[in-house]
Each structure stands twice: as structure tokens, then as C-alpha cells.
Amino acid sequence: MSDASVLSIVGARPQFIKAFPVSRLLREQLSEVLVHTGQHYDFGMSDVFFEELDIPEPDYNLGVGSANHANQTAAMLRRIDEVVEAERPDMILVYGDTNSTLAGALVAAKRDLPVAHVEAGLRSGNWAMPEEVNRVLTDRCSDLLFVPSDRAVETLADEGITEGVTVTGDVMYDAITSVRDRAPSASAILGDPGYGDDEYVLATVHRQANTDDPARLASVVEGLSSSPRPVVAPLHPRTEEALKRHDLWERATAALDVIEPVGYLDFVGLLDGAERVATDSGGVQKEAFYLDTRCVTLREETEWVETVEAGWNELVGADAAAIRSALRRTDELPEKPSLYGGGRAAERVVDEIVSYLRPRA
Ligand code: UD1
Ligand code: UDP
């Protein structure tokens, strides 16, 4: 068994967080070659997570950096393929829905290698979203599909995928549970004067549909600016660039407490202490739910439908008036159902991979 090897592909911020609980357990049972595509590369978007979470240094950093979707994915395909040629892994493991995910899955398909996909079976129903293309194509290439909920099983079945599907729960729940106690308070992160618990709203924005359309971005800034509480906004570099490009930077920094992206421990601390969060992130919607923080989602649809149905997440799109009113809602939140597993998702993922590879090892 110890000879079997898994080539794990990460590249973007949320993937470092998803990989850390899985990687730790995987390495107890078989060998892992960790490949960082280099999709994210700033210290605060990449290295900080490896340092804080004690993730082993990647065996390869492919340094692809930023480019348009086709070029970025093409560079990843070429370089991942070279690593596969050198390492001859038994399987490729991918996470989520980024270009790094799709590139790993496609290389595996072209090399006739099995693919394992963590966070399979999620759909927004919006084909204009680059991530939706990545999700559908990655699932089509996958042999092992690790899904967070029963709904995802149905989604895959509707697309004709029924083999190799396992409900594992959400590895991000495992991740957040393991760090929550170490997360500092908001006042420690933001320094003097800082904010106390429930004194601020946390906001993150980076979705292409929001950053690349100046009218939507202006409307999001206007909506957030109308918050009755101060808004702390750790800004993705994409959003900082877009605000500057669309001449909205002054407006945003005057109205919001704009800070650099923060590491995972700080982010969990900020989210835990926030009165509510406004976000277009996928991962943050779930993390808000796990930490009992009300969520306002700056999109028209979500892959994490269960959080909306549970009454903990409201979809408001980029409409300034809708954002304003969602930031003011004071109705009681309903009792929280248990969604996306009980914190042992990584264990299930690794068990499935080990039993799949055992006959071949
Ligand atoms: C990517 C994923 C998205 C995910 C997000 C997580 C795709 C299609 N998109 O979006 O699903 O939610 O990561 O954060 O894969 N940049 C920097 N420094 C960095 C990284 C990016 O300055 O370290 C800037 C560059 O200007 C770059 C832009 O951000 O062009 C976008 O980066 P990219 O990785 O292409 O997409 P994200 O928006 O980060
Ligand atoms: N996150 C972080 N620092 C930040 C913003 C987000 O550590 O400044 C973490 C957050 O806790 C979550 C993940 O990054 O685990 C979400 O990543 P992002 O929103 O970039 O991507 P998405 O989930 O939308 O793909």
C-alpha cells in the first residue's frame, strides 16, 4: 500500500484550506506528491496558509501565475503533465472548482489516470460562471466523487453520474473545527481601535461577475456603504485592481474599512466575531453557517442551497437596495439544522481513496 501515490493539485486560496485536513491523513497511509499550480502567489493568498496550517511544502510549484482562463489553464495542463510524466502517480486528487481543479482532472483524463474530486456534485446552474464549467467538466472526468450532501448525489444522478459517489460531508467543516479555538479576536487582528464582537460587518468580494462589471461593483460598494455598522473588507487583489480600474477605489476606501487579505486564522476570528457577513465567496457562506454568523450573499444563486433553505443565508445579488435591507434585517434566525457532515469528511475521503487504490497497489 505504501507504494501507491496520489498527486494532489492545489493552486488557489480555498484549496489550501480544503487540502490541509485531507493531506495530513492521506500521508499516514500512502505517499502524496503535492503540486501547487501557482495560480495564487502573493504571500497573503498562498504562503500564509502553508505556514499557519503546517501544510507540507509543495513538492512542485508550477508558477503559472495570472492570465486569462484559457491561457492559465493551458499553462497548468502542460506543467502538470510534465509532473505526471516524472512522478507516475496512481491517482490525481483535485479540490473545488478552480482552473487548477479542471487542469488536474483533464491531465488525468488524458493520461488515463483515475481522478478523485473533493466537493463534487455542486452546481449554481449558471453556465456563465467559470467555476460552473470547471465543476461540470471535472465531475465528468472523475472516478471518485466526494460530495458534501445528499442533494449533490441527486445532482450527479441527474447528469448520469452514479458510480463512485460518496457523501463525505464538507472538508471545510473539518478545517474550521480544527482551528476555531486558535483564531484570535477581531480586536487583536485589527489592532487599536479594533472592534468588539458584533460591532462590525465582515465583507469579501472577488467573484468575476461582481468585479468585472463596473455597474455591479459600484452597486455592491453602494450597498455595503449603507451598512448600519462599520464594514471590514479584507480585499482580494482582483477586487482592489477592479476598484482602481473602475475609479471606485476612493469611494470604497472612504466608506469601508479596507484591509489586505488575511490568513485563515485571522479570517476565522473575524468571521466568528462579525455581526453578519456579506460575501460572494463559496467557502465563506458555509463557514458563516458553521460559526453561527448570518450571511448575505452578493450573488443571484448559490451552490450551497441548503444554507439558504435553512434561513441562514440570503441571496441579494449586487442590488444596492437589497444589500442595504439585508444588512438591516433583525428577525430571529431559525434553529440551525446540521448540514454537510459532522467533521469527519477528510477521514472518509482518505478511506475511499485507500480502498480504491488497494487492489492496484
Ligand atoms: C480563483 C478561482 C475562484 C476562487 C478564487 C479563490 C478560477 C476560475 N477562479 O479566482 O473560483 O473563488 O480563486 O480566491 O479558478 N491576483 C493577485 N495575486 C494572487 C492571485 C491573484 O494579484 O496571488 C490577482 C491577479 O490580478 C489575477 C486576479 O487576481 O489576475 C484573479 O486571480 P485568478 O486566480 O485568476 O482568479 P480568482 O479571482 O482569484
Ligand atoms: N479566507 C481567508 N482570508 C481572507 C478571505 C478568505 O483566509 O481574507 C478564506 C476563507 O476562510 C475561506 C476561503 O478563504 O476558507 C475562501 O476563499 P475564497 O473566498 O477566496 O474562494 P471561494 O470559496 O469563493 O472559492
Q: Is the CB of 17 under 6 A from ligand 2?
A: yes
pLDDT above 60 for 1 = no
Q: Is the CB of 282 under 6 A from ligand 2?
A: yes
| Residue 177, C-beta contacts closer than 8 angstroms, at least 6 positions apart | 290, 343
Q: How far is the CA of 173 from the centre of ligand 2 (A)?
A: 13
Q: What is the pLDDT of residue 341?
A: 85
Distance CA 299, CA 318 (A): 6
pTM for this predicted structure: 0.97
Q: What is the three-class DSSP state of 186?
A: helix
Q: What is the pLDDT of residue 307?
A: 97
pLDDT above 70 for 361 = no
Domains of the chain from N-terminus onward: 5-170+342-360 (3.40.50.2000), 188-328 (3.40.50.2000)
Q: How far is the CA of 17 from the centre of ligand 2 (A)?
A: 8
Name the closest ligand to CA 284: 2
Q: What is the three-class DSSP state of 131?
A: helix
Q: Is the CB of 260 under 6 A from ligand 1?
A: no
Distance CA 179, CA 74 (A): 35
C-alpha cell at position 237: 487583489
Are the beta carbons of 168 and 141 closer than 8 angstroms? no
Q: What is the pLDDT of residue 119?
A: 98
DSSP 283-349: HHHHHHHHTT-EEEESSS--S-HHHHHTTSEEE-TT-HHHHHHHTT--SPPPPPPP-S-SS-HHHHH
Q: How far is the CA of 238 from the centre of ligand 2 (A)?
A: 13
Q: Supply the angle between the helices 345-357 and 171-179 in degrees, to the nearest 10.
A: 130
Task: Kindly report the average pLDDT of the chain as a whole number.
Answer: 96
Q: What is the three-class DSSP state of 5?
A: strand
DSSP category for residue 359: G
DSSP category for residue 182: G
C-alpha cell at position 187: 480586536
- Average the pLDDT over 22-43 and give the result: 97
Of the candidates 85, 29, 21, the residue with the CA atom closest to the CA atom of residue 361: 29
Q: Is the CB of 20 under 6 A from ligand 2?
A: no
pLDDT above 80 for 264 = yes
C-alpha cell at position 354: 485507500
Q: How far is the CA of 238 from the centre of ligand 1 (A)?
A: 6
Q: What is the pLDDT of residue 3?
A: 76
Q: How far is the CA of 71 from the centre of ligand 2 (A)?
A: 24
Are the beta carbons of 20 and 175 closer than 8 angstroms? yes
Closest CA to ligand 1's atom 3: 98
**Measured CA distances, 130 to 70, 90, 135 (Å):** 11, 28, 9
Q: Is the CB of 232 under 6 A from ligand 2?
A: no
Q: Is the CB of 261 under 6 A from ligand 2?
A: yes
- Ligand 2 pocket test target in 281, 287, 291 with most atoms within 8 Å of CB: 281
Q: Is the CB of 16 under 6 A from ligand 2?
A: no
- Average the pLDDT over 297-313 and give the result: 97
C-alpha cell at position 263: 490568513
Are the beta carbons of 336 and 310 closer than 8 angstroms? yes
Closest CA to ligand 2's atom 13: 14
- The β-bridge partners of 296 are 278, 314
Q: What confidence tens digit (pLDDT) does each residue in 18-28 have? A: 999 999 999 99
Q: What confidence tens digit (pLDDT) does each residue in 123-148 have? A: 999 999 999 999 999 999 999 999 99
Q: Supply the angle between the helices 13-29 and 282-290 in degrees, to the nearest 10.
A: 70
Confidence bin at 358 (pLDDT 50/70/90): confident
Confidence bin at 193 (pLDDT 50/70/90): confident
C-alpha cell at position 325: 435591507
Q: Among residues of the chain, what percentage have pLDDT more than 90?
A: 96
Name the closest ligand to CA 262: 2
Catalytic (active site) residue 69:
no
Name the closest ligand to CA 176: 2
More confident residue, 178 or 341: 178
Closest CA to ligand 2's atom 25: 282
Q: Is the CB of 204 under 6 A from ligand 2?
A: yes
Given the residues 40, 117, 206, 246, the one annotated as active site:
206
